[in-house]
Amino acid sequence: MARTVSIGTQDFEKMIQRNCFYVDKTGFIKEWWESEDEVTLITRPRRFGKTLNMSMLNCFFSNKYADRGELFEKLEIWKDEKYCEIQGTYPVIFLSFAGVKGNTFELSKKQIYDKIIELYESNRFLLKSDCMSDTEKARYISFLEKPLEEDVSFKLNELSNYLSRYYGKKVIILLDEYDTPMQEAYVNGYWEELVAFTRSLFNSTFKTNPYLERAIMTGITRVSKESIFSDLNNLKVITVTNEEYSKCFGFTEKEVFDALDEQGISGEKEKVKLWYDGFTFGKSKDIYNPWSIINFLDEKNYKTYWADSSSNGLINSLVKTGSSYIKMMMETLLKGETIDVPIDEQIVFSQLDYSEDAVWSLMLASGYLKVISSDKLTGDRTKSVMYKLALTNFEIKLMFEDMILHWFSPAKNETNEFIKALICGDIESMNAYMNKVALKTISYFDTGNVPSDEEPERFFHGFVLGLMVDQSENYIITSNRESGFGRYDIMLEPKDKQTQKYPGIVI
């Protein structure tokens, strides 16, 4: 019997208890634990199961889930007795910056404070134990009562200390969506302030924290080490081009095809592959984005699910306001061709305003582009690699096409009145539209400021011709050509001669 497809569930415990459709990713637990890396940063595009995997790690390691092995009994990790023994045996600090989206530095800072306050509130039981001194308990309570009066930078370090003393074991720290505040800071213009604040927080939490067993962070982008990770020489970074964990996020083709079989829609495999396949992590190809697949399994309909799950505002802005070079490269990509660009995976958001290469780096990290091949650069650009890139899949292609069409839709709507009236032969409405535009926008200087019969006509001729341009899909448009016994001003010849929808027009 096919399992129920649950949309938007990011809580591992709920997913398993309700027997919802779930692709087993517990192999990630073993791969990460046996890597022995102290602090790991994994970047993946949005909606790729990062939060669900972090919730899975929390359920597996946290002593709050001690004796909850039934959550994992039917999954891959439970086949290894070693891991059955360590399930639910570690103190875990689990927090997410997903909701930190303030439009000012003060608001984002407060939102981060609120996340840490929640952790302190959930561990109030520490105040009743003997693991803390009276001074420490007073400091704990003071932070809860007047948090904004204290420096939050060391609070995760302090909480690690208290928990490790209470349980007699070092803590595991899980930080999901670490870079969400960074993107908001860039968009809203407070990048430098947030970087300084975050650098101090991350240093005390992940570097100078003797109570830390392991830590893992997830996000979309690898923010440059020079900005927030300058002190973290113990950081292992895994991006979309690394081989590690390449099948732990996103669905493999086998997983997708098995899901289609389970849901009784095996005949859709080829079309599903066209729409949603194409992501590449390390050497693993044919990775599908989970959000589109899960929604397709639920609705049985082809849509741009992943592309529509976000406004894509930053990418839209960077392409729309980018140079002619960026627009030409986008045109090449939309034709189904590849581009060759140098990529430095350490995203420096401040460079996005002037570095064209940084735009491609962000698009690759965000999942809009995929790697076809790569070559290491030498000389001054040893940090960069020359990548051959293509649009990830058909869904992404449709997203960019719609995005570009929307750039021009306001202008197109403004001319709709005139074009509709023209095609319908409504002379009165055409005249009313022209009068409205002439009275509101056109100066007599535009039509020539010297007595001449030709200048005004040339101006209006060009103006009317400009109104016709967006009809190039339906008409062959020509201007000032000889025809018959004279010369017309403008002619619109319908491309489809068999339809009456678009009549031939001579002006």
Q: pLDDT tens-digit profile of 129-179?
A: 999 999 999 999 999 999 988 899 999 999 999 999 999 999 999 999 999
Question: How many domains in the chain?
Answer: 4
DSSP secondary structure, 309-346, as one string: TS--HHHHHHHHSS-HHHHHHHHHHHTT--EEEEE-SE
Whether residues 191 and 101 fall in one domain: yes
Give me the domain span that covers residue 443.
411-506
Q: In 3-state terms, what secondary structure has residue 385? A: strand
6 found inside a domain: no
Closest to 100 measured CA to CA, from 6, 163, 173, 194 = 194
Give the Cα separation of 353 and 331 in Å (integer): 21
Q: In 3-state terms, what secondary structure has residue 120? A: helix
**What tokens appear for 313 in the block?**
């505002």
User: Mutual orientation of helices 356-366 and 324-334 as an angle, nearest 10°?
Assistant: 40
Give the Cα separation of 44 and 405 in Å (integer): 28
Whether residues 205 and 91 fall in one domain: yes
Flag whether pLDDT at 5 surpasses 90.
Answer: yes
4 found inside a domain: no
Closest to 367 measured CA to CA, from 279, 451, 438, 247 = 279
State the pTM of this model.
0.79
Which of 284, 308, 332 is a domain's end point?
308
406 found inside a domain: no
Give the Cα separation of 129 and 170 in Å (integer): 17
Whether residues 37 and 130 fall in one domain: yes
**What tokens appear for 446 in the block?**
């535009």
17 found inside a domain: no
The answer to whether the beta carbons of residues 298 and 7 sit under 8 Å apart is: yes
Edge-to-edge strand order for the sheet containing 490-494? 475-479, 490-494, 505-506
Whether residues 266 and 328 fall in one domain: no
**What tokens appear for 370 in the block?**
């995929």
Whether residues 185 and 266 fall in one domain: no
The mean predicted confidence, pLDDT, of the chain is 88
Give the Cα separation of 149 and 251 in Å (integer): 46
Whether residues 381 and 486 fall in one domain: no
Q: Which residues contact 95 (CB under 8 A, 6 or more apart)?
A: 115, 116, 118, 119, 174, 175, 176
213 found inside a domain: yes
402 found inside a domain: no
Which of 308, 339, 357 is a domain's end point?
308
Closest to 54 measured CA to CA, from 37, 35, 41 = 41
The answer to whether the beta carbons of residues 172 and 90 sit under 8 Å apart is: yes
Whether residues 260 and 373 fall in one domain: no
Helices and strands: H and E segment counts in the chain: 19, 18
Whether residues 273 and 317 fall in one domain: no
pLDDT, one tens digit per residue, over 70-82 is 999 999 999 999 9
Whether residues 359 and 460 fall in one domain: no
CATH code of the domain containing 177: 3.40.50
pLDDT, one tens digit per residue, over 360-417 is 988 998 899 999 998 876 555 555 689 999 999 999 999 998 888 777 665 555 556 7
Q: In 3-state terms, what secondary structure has residue 40? A: strand
pLDDT, one tens digit per residue, over 206-239 is 999 999 999 999 999 887 765 788 777 789 999 9
Flag whether pLDDT at 304 surpasses 90.
Answer: yes
Whether residues 264 and 231 fall in one domain: no
The angle subtended at Cα 309 by Cα 304 and Cα 314, nearest 5°, is 105
Give the Cα separation of 491 and 127 in Å (integer): 84
445 found inside a domain: yes
Whether residues 216 and 357 fall in one domain: no
Whether residues 221 and 357 fall in one domain: no
